[in-house]
Amino acid sequence: MDTKFESTDNSAALLDEVRAAIETDQALRIRGGDSKAFLGRSTDGKSIDTRSHRGIVTYDPTELVVTVRAGTPVAELEATLDTAGQMLPSEAPVFAGNATVGGMVASGLSGPRRPWGGSVRDFVLGCRIITGTGKHLRFGGEVMKNVAGYDISRLTAGSFGALGLITEVSLKVLPKPRASLSLAQSMTSETAISKISKWRSEGVPVTGACHVQDTLYVRIEGGEGSVKAARELVGGEETPYDFWTALREFQLPFFSDRRPLWRLSLPASAPHINLPGTAVIDWGGSQRWLKSDESEGIIREIAHRHGGHGACYTPGVSDQPFHPLPVPLLKLHQRLKKELDPSAIFNPGRMYADL
């Protein structure tokens, strides 16, 4: 499909850079728009920039599939999908237009719609990556199918470049909802969690639920009739839709607090928790954002006690910003890393010191 945006295949040059790094045992720091440099551990190495490798390769709206190069800005991809009335269901942040498709997949970040629409990983059909053996390989395809062994294309989601340099991704997309409405009403966090759980069991078409500063914000989407019915059930006052953009882009006033930012990922059934700091409840309760000066040990113990884990989103606060892995799982990660990147040249230590 034609697009008004720039399209350049620079995979050959990227492959040459990787092969040169392998020959000289030079670590590489993979970067796109660098919009998520604050996530994970700092990585030493020569920067390899994917932004020159960009553009939509194929897009057939009737098939709900798009194949796009890694250096393409997420905002440009979304603009193209929007012309066909379609969207990326995971609602990943665009970070002022700097986020790239490769970074979106490598970080696995998803926005407010994630519990109801799915994660980035859920919509990755296939990918091409340059491995640490100097090969440019294709995994998966443009249709959903079961495969034997590792599903490498989906394992790249959330891998932070540890498995290789993503050059191309095929993604499942979905039609945009015909009707959308954003509502807000005052209530405690305990009441908000209870109401969201009730709406979930009743099948209310919620696609966003966030409690901040004693106010519950709810987004409902679907057909005109279902949205109208849900509006009567949910209640509250209509509120500007840009709340969800601010939440997605980390632009709510809450995020400007200078204290370290923690993300607690919890089961959907997790109750209200008295957290040591200021908190925002997102994803209907499954994601708790926390601004706190409390120690990482205590914060992670709280998350673990409630069946979840905690990650620090503020650089320099913790040497292990991502929740430590159990030994068996870490060994599995290391085995996979060894297979695809035997010399460990890609983003060494970005996720964990031992990876």
Q: What is the pLDDT of residues 215-226, one digit of tens each?
A: 999 999 999 999
Cβ–Cβ under 8 Å, residues 76 and 173: no
- Collapsing DSSP to helix, strand or coil, 256 comes out as helix
Give yes or no for residue 142 having a pLDDT over 60.
Answer: no
Q: What is the pLDDT of residues 193-242, one digit of tens each?
A: 999 999 999 999 999 999 999 999 999 999 999 999 999 999 999 998 89
Decide: pTM greater than 0.85. Answer: yes
Give yes or no for residue 353 having a pLDDT over 90.
Answer: yes
Structure letter (DSSP) for residue 346: B
Nearest-angstrom CA–CA distance, 195 and 161: 39
Q: Is 147 found in the same domain as 230?
A: no
What's the pLDDT band for 78 if we cut at 50, 70, 90?
Answer: very high
The domain tally of the chain equals 2
Name the E strands within 92-164. Answer: 124-130, 136-140
348 inside domain: no
Give yes or no for residue 313 having a pLDDT over 90.
Answer: yes
Strand pairing report for 28-31 and 46-49: parallel
Q: Which domain holds residue 304?
A: 179-312
> What is the per-residue pLDDT for 261?
98
Mean pLDDT within 76-81: 98
CATH code where residue 35 lies: 3.30.465.10
Cβ–Cβ under 8 Å, residues 129 and 343: no
Give yes or no for residue 147 having a pLDDT over 70.
Answer: no
Give the residue from 132, 147, 175 where a domain finishes: 175
**C-alpha pair distances (Å), 77 with each of 84, 117, 339:** 11, 18, 32
Q: Is 147 found in the same domain as 200?
A: no
Nearest-angstrom CA–CA distance, 191 and 95: 32
Beta bridge partners of 352: none
Q: Is 188 found in the same domain as 253?
A: yes
Q: Is 117 found in the same domain as 195?
A: no
Q: Is 149 found in the same domain as 80?
A: yes
Q: Is 161 found in the same domain as 140?
A: yes
Q: Is 204 found in the same domain as 192?
A: yes
185 inside domain: yes
Amino acid at 304: H
CA-atom Rg of the chain in angstroms: 21
Pull the structure tokens for residue 13.
């040059």
Nearest-angstrom CA–CA distance, 300 and 252: 24
Q: Count Cα atoms within 13 angstroms, Cβ side, for 204.
A: 24
Q: Is 193 found in the same domain as 304?
A: yes
Mean pLDDT within 149-166: 90
Q: Is 115 found in the same domain as 46?
A: yes
Q: Is 255 found in the same domain as 145?
A: no
Give yes or no for residue 254 having a pLDDT over 60.
Answer: yes
Q: Is 210 found in the same domain as 280?
A: yes
Nearest-angstrom CA–CA distance, 219 and 200: 13
Q: Is 155 found in the same domain as 99?
A: yes
What's the pLDDT band for 141 if we cut at 50, 70, 90?
Answer: low
> What is the per-residue pLDDT for 5?
81
Q: Which residue has the tokens 């989103």?
A: 313
